[in-house]
Amino acid sequence: MKINSDEFRVQQGETVDLTHRATTSAPLCKSDKHYLARLQKHVLHLSAWQQLLYAANRQAVLLIFQGMDSAGKDGAIQHVMSGVNPQGCQVFSFKHPSEAELQHDFLWRTTRDLPERGRIGIFNRSYYEEVLIVRVHRDILRSEGLPSRSAGVRRDGAGIWQARYRSIVDLEHHLHVNGTRIIKFFLHLSKEEQRKRFIERIDDPLKNWKFGADDIRERKFWPGYMTAYEQCLSATSTIDSPWYVVPADNKNNSRLIVSQIVLETFEAMGLAYPKASAARLRELKAIRSELAT
């Protein structure tokens, strides 16, 4: 089955209603063997593109993964990027901000870890947490020490989220203009599938270390998170830095969709190996002659 990435893309200006976005999709492969072969093909192509990105050294790629607990962010990163040279790729996970990070603006800690030209950066959660978990848990916002006149410290929080959306869109526009291509994935998991995965983690001795009481507590805020995601996706998906809502109930499907979208992004970047100048060619010819003797 062919993957149509536009089916998952959030168009600029679209009002997102996640109840109208599927968490499941028709199987993309006939069997696990077929899935592995298809994924491996994507992985090999991604590896080739990553080498070209590194050689050209003119652009960077930033992949952002967001989703509820157990949506499959770690697995997607692990499987889709398995063939990429580690020297050309960096993965950063962002948890609750430290005391030092709280002394800076909300974009500071992630900006430090943006990818260099020629490299792929991956954010497992990102600055978007500042309009997601912070919106659901307002006590985090209060701990950020915003100026007393800031809209963000008003009791109703009025104005803070729109202001942060603008800051994020401005940042992503700045990065795009300067050569960083940003692709944002929201792994859209159903609450029922999350319940099943939590039970599997608890029952599996090799996985229950991943599960904690916080996971259950956060599950109680599901409606609040869905509202936060809907408004975030609606406000920050742009032509240059789009969001993709990827059905995540089927892990194999979601990984294939993610890898296909990343491949298409690379294909549209116009990458090419650098051409040697006449002077460089003469230099190489002279070096080769010296080595041949």
Taking only the tens place, the pLDDT of each residue in 121-140 is 999 999 999 999 999 998 88
For residue 221 the two structure tokens come to 């805020």
| Residues 6 or more apart in contact with residue 44 via CB below 8 angstroms | 83
Query: pLDDT > 70: what percent of the chain?
Result: 96
Calpha distance 148→128 (Å, rounded): 23
The arithmetic mean of pLDDT across residues 207-224, rounded, is: 87
The arithmetic mean of pLDDT across residues 85-98, rounded, is: 88
Backbone angles phi, psi at 233, to 5 degrees: -60, -40
Its CATH architecture, for the domain 5-292, is 3-Layer(aba) Sandwich (3.40)
pLDDT digits 0-9 by tens, 248-287: 999 999 999 999 999 999 999 999 998 888 898 899 999 9
For residue 171 the two structure tokens come to 């940042």
In this model, does residue 116 exceed pLDDT 80?
yes
The arithmetic mean of pLDDT across residues 40-56, rounded, is: 96
In this model, does residue 151 exceed pLDDT 50?
no
Strands 120-124 and 60-67: parallel
